[in-house]
Amino acid sequence: MNYVSTRNNKNELHFKDVFIKGLADDGGLFVPKNVKSLNSEDLDKLRNLSYNDLACEILNLFCSDFINKKDLKTIITKSYSTFREKEVVKISNLGSIKLLELYHGPTLAFKDIAMQFIGNLYDYYLSKNNDFLNVIVATSGDTGAAAIDAIKGKNNMNIFVLHPNNKISKVQRKLMTTGNEKNVFNIAIDGNFDDCQNLVKAMFSDLEFSKSIKMTGVNSINWARIIAQAVYYFYTCFKLNSSKPISFSVPTGNFGDVFAGYLAKKMGLPIDKLIVATNQNDILHRAISKGEYRSKKVEQTISPSMDIQLASNFERLIYYINNSNSEITAEIMKKIKENVYQIDKINLESIQKDFVSGSCNENETLDIIKKYYEKNNVILDPHTAVGVGVANKLSLNDCVVLSTAHPCKFPDATENAIKKYENLPKELEHVLNKDENFEVLKNDIEVVKNFVKSKI
């Protein structure tokens, strides 16, 4: 399969370039030149597979020129061997809603599912080619821990993680900063998540710097993450085996997870609506309901992994709704940079064919946690609660809500809502008492670059 940049689709690349670079040199995101579509016969062949076998078949469609199927299967098996659920994910009932529990990996959020795969895929490639990479990643809380767990101790990679200082939960931070592997570097930036993400982007677009240190990224813009996430949409539809197309409510900030659902739908999976559920940082909700894609100041919420204003992966949707026209996409991205983008009527109508949206403020999120605790005796993490709350608001009550984090990661939020918190799974309790290791740096590109250079 060949890939192009959303900002220049004349230049065709292979999976290897897409995977190793993360972001195109022109600042665009990578997308497949043509998305493979599966007919009902193809889908039937996948229907009864185990999670790992299904992952192997889906991922192989995207990277067969990079890795053979046998090695791919080995990597997938290895990646998910540490999960607490044998089938990686678990579907549970919450009244009329179904929860797709994605948090049974080593760092208790859905990001493990893609990140464990990516870490092992890097390892495979780098060992084979005797090469070395420096992974630099911004995190709003969960990506960092997942990336560190996936890369720690590997001898062909360093990992640098930038998180917004004092803006993530303590458990989130402890899961990142309590390891002692020599190839892991935690940086707390005096700023918010968008600042962290901008620093990483600036390092990437400084080609002299990024090439000289062999920099790569594992943020949710990395195509390999998207395809690994598409797998659980397939798995869920097959498992539920519903006669009607299923809707998914996806708590989102960076538009990564929900874009994976869009990809699955584009490939032919019978999905009805993709529900974009945001907290009060609601740029995606304003965009999808009214066409208003303009960022405001980021507000800190109890669902910090969605405290994002600029949704990087939205660029991929812009590309597709403009019929894969990269000139138009590049123009729109300029407008987004100037914060003056209004989605036109035709584009908005085509977005609304697949997506609906909603947002929950802090009180509504707490109310949802309370309501479902009282009614169903289930503790929801605040991100999942946003997904449930928006599904309720839109009266889409027979949908599947992606449950993106284990509630124990956000004890303050659940304590606030129901005076209760969930304990960490036994095997992770030890992180709470371990010493932390991170450097606080100014929100300044030169300072961060110098730090990175001093460590490699």
Give the range of 38-46, 66-74, 246-254, 423-431 binding ligand PLP by CB under 6 A.
246-254
Half-sphere exposure of 436 (CA within 13 A, CB side): 16
Structure tokens at 241: 């085996």
| Residue from 116, 178, 183, 254 binding ligand PLP (CB under 6 A) | 254
Question: What's the DSSP call for residue 83?
Answer: -
**Burial (0-12, 13-18, 19+ Cβ within 10 Å), 263:** buried
Q: Is 252 in the site for ligand PLP (CB under 6 A)?
A: yes
CB-nearer residue toward ligand PLP: 175 or 237: 175
Question: What's the DSSP call for residue 324?
Answer: T
| Residue from 28, 105, 217, 256 binding ligand PLP (CB under 6 A) | 256
The whole-angstrom separation of Cα 71 and Cα 62 is: 14
Active site includes 449? no
CB-nearer residue toward ligand PLP: 15 or 262: 262
359 to 84, 142, 298, 444: CA distances (angstroms):
31, 21, 15, 32
CB-nearer residue toward ligand PLP: 192 or 404: 404
Burial track 340-353 (b if 16+ CB lie within 10 A, e otherwise) = ebebeeebbebbee
Catalytic residue among 111, 167, 174, 201: 111
CB-nearer residue toward ligand PLP: 21 or 111: 111
Q: Which residues in 170-229 contact ligand PLP (CB under 6 A)?
A: 220
The minimum distance between CB 411 and ligand PLP, in angstroms, equals 14
The whole-angstrom separation of Cα 276 and Cα 278 is: 7
Give the range of 163-171, 249-257, 318-326, 366-374 binding ligand PLP by CB under 6 A.
249-257
| Residue from 112, 149, 194, 257 binding ligand PLP (CB under 6 A) | 257
Q: Is 261 in the site for ligand PLP (CB under 6 A)?
A: no
Within its chain, how far is the Cα of 416 from the centroid?
Answer: 26
Half-sphere exposure of 106 (CA within 13 A, CB side): 23
Give the range of 90-98, 130-138, 176-184, 254-262 binding ligand PLP by CB under 6 A.
254-262
The whole-angstrom separation of Cα 193 and Cα 27 is: 19
The whole-angstrom separation of Cα 308 and Cα 374 is: 30
Alpha-carbon dihedral sign for residues 427, 178, 187, 381:
positive
| Residue from 237, 277, 306, 321 binding ligand PLP (CB under 6 A) | 306
Collect all residues with Cβ–Cβ distance below 8 Å to 241 and sequence separation of at least 6.
47
CB-nearer residue toward ligand PLP: 126 or 302: 302
Q: Which residues in 91-130 contact ligand PLP (CB under 6 A)?
A: 109, 111
CB 128 within 8 A of CB 87: no
Binding mask 397-436 for ligand PLP (x = CB under 6 A): -------xx-------------------------------
CB-nearer residue toward ligand PLP: 210 or 220: 220
Binding mask 341-380 for ligand PLP (x = CB under 6 A): ----------------------------------------
CB-nearer residue toward ligand PLP: 9 or 303: 303
Q: Is 135 helix (H, G, I), strand (E, B) or coil?
A: strand
How many chain residues bind ligand PLP (CB under 6 A)?
16
The whole-angstrom separation of Cα 389 and Cα 386 is: 5
Residue-level length of the chain: 456
The minimum distance between CB 73 and ligand PLP, in angstroms, equals 26
Catalytic residues: 111
Question: Applying CB under 6 A, which residues contact ligand PLP?
Answer: 109, 111, 142, 220, 251-257, 305-306, 383, 404-405
